[in-house]
Homo-oligomer: A and B are copies of this chain.
């Protein structure tokens, strides 16, 4: 039985595959003169962040102060960008403490956030770098126009304790020209106002191999590429064989000829579909479909005979690796068929 030492359900991380994925994109980015700033949300493991930096990443990306704290405690990281509007005294105090340990930058997409950052850093030894988050079409956060970006950059420059450090966007997929036009116009306007734009930070795994089509970007933030998942296979970005994170599950019931139940439900695989059909890909069995999850049950169905028996183990590539990393307190490290042992998911559940 595969990985008999590992109790199921288990989240397996194949370090050989993760390292190969990390090296492949670093090499691509190097060849295009693009800096890499990996997003740790995918792995939440200091050891992988340290590997990313050792292979050439300029630093890491986190969303939350608590994630950054967890990653820094692991060592190997000295440059962090928080791509999130940090709000509230509690978080700002911790942000200030964080700034004393690492080279730190954050983003803002509105003046309230900028003023909060300024108040927290006005007596700091060095100003906090603040990038303006730009909505280039993904319609999440971000100022809405290049003119609004310029206005916020000006405001940041006038506030004590912080300084404008560039533009950041989480771009819509597949629209490099529109993104480049938006950011190019913003850069032009801001420079015309006498303010330098040292960093233009873009990102996203689906478009990773086309990152060079938006040459305006100085750095690329990327998370899922380290593990890959069913969504990225669906996007044509990678193959099943490139998927470093898999879920090991046991068949607990085969109640009908075309139905089986495994001990991995939404508490491991999550309900994230990302537009896919089914809740994960059973490796080696493309004829099977995980058609329904409850918290502890994954239901597998087939058109023909299910061909699974009680006690048998299966390995599943989830739809979305990042969220699976967030479900269990530990992942099981492997290299191929070799089991190395568990490691705590240090930045799991860090939402503050």
Q: Which residues of B contact A7 (CB under 8 A)?
A: 88, 90-91, 352
Q: Which of A108-116, A156-164, A175-183 participates in binding chain B?
A: A108-116
Closest to A223 in B: B295
Complex CA–CA separation, A327 to B8 (angstroms): 19
- Check A88 against B267 for contact (C-beta < 8 Å): no
Q: Which residues of B contact A187 (CB under 8 A)?
A: none
- Our pick among B250, B259, B266 for the contact of A272 (Cβ within 8 Å) is B266
- Our pick among B41, B256, B270 for the contact of A144 (Cβ within 8 Å) is B256
- Check A323 against B266 for contact (C-beta < 8 Å): yes
Q: A84-B296, A267-B349 are in contact. Are A252 and B322 (CB under 8 A)?
A: no
A269-310 at interface with B (beta carbon < 8 Å) = 270-273, 292, 294-297, 299, 309-310
Q: A112-B310, A310-B110 are in contact. Are A252 and B144 (CB under 8 A)?
A: no
- Check A311 against B255 for contact (C-beta < 8 Å): no
Q: A270-B271, A311-B112, A326-B267 are in contact. Are A252 and B141 (CB under 8 A)?
A: yes
- Check B323 against A295 for contact (C-beta < 8 Å): yes
- Check A351 against B328 for contact (C-beta < 8 Å): yes
- Check A271 against B268 for contact (C-beta < 8 Å): no
Q: A91-B7, A349-B267 are in contact. Are A84 and B295 (CB under 8 A)?
A: no
Q: Which residues of B contact A352 (CB under 8 A)?
A: 7-9
A85-134 at interface with B (beta carbon < 8 Å) = 85, 87-88, 90-91, 109-110, 112-113
Q: Does A142 contact B (CB under 8 A)?
A: yes
Q: Does A16 contact B (CB under 8 A)?
A: no
Complex CA–CA separation, A91 to B8 (angstroms): 10
Main secondary structure of the interface of A (DSSP, over half): loop
Instruction: Provide the A27-45 mask, 1 if CB < 8 A to any CB of B, else 0.
Output: 0000000000000010000
Closest to A63 in B: B296
Q: Which residues of B contact A299 (CB under 8 A)?
A: 139-140
Q: Does A143 contact B (CB under 8 A)?
A: yes
Q: Does A254 contact B (CB under 8 A)?
A: yes
Closest to A1 in B: B88
- Our pick among B109, B250, B267 for the contact of A87 (Cβ within 8 Å) is B250
- Check B144 against A113 for contact (C-beta < 8 Å): no
Q: Which residues of B contact A139 (CB under 8 A)?
A: 259, 299
Q: A7-B88, A112-B310, A255-B142 are in contact. Are A349 and B328 (CB under 8 A)?
A: yes
Q: Which residues of B contact A110 (CB under 8 A)?
A: 253-255, 310
A27-73 at interface with B (beta carbon < 8 Å) = 41, 63-64
Q: Does A135 contact B (CB under 8 A)?
A: yes
- Check B250 against A88 for contact (C-beta < 8 Å): yes
Closest to A310 in B: B112
- Check B351 against A311 for contact (C-beta < 8 Å): no
Q: Which residues of B contact A296 (CB under 8 A)?
A: 63-64, 84, 351
Using a CB–CB distance below 8 Å, which chain A residues touch chain B?
A: 7-9, 41, 63-64, 84-85, 87-88, 90-91, 109-110, 112-113, 135, 139-144, 250, 252-256, 259, 261, 263, 266-268, 270-273, 292, 294-297, 299, 309-311, 322-323, 326-329, 349, 351-352
A-B contact pairs, 12 of them (CB 8 A): A63-B295, A84-B263, A85-B252, A87-B311, A109-B253, A112-B309, A139-B299, A140-B261, A267-B326, A268-B351, A270-B270, A329-B349
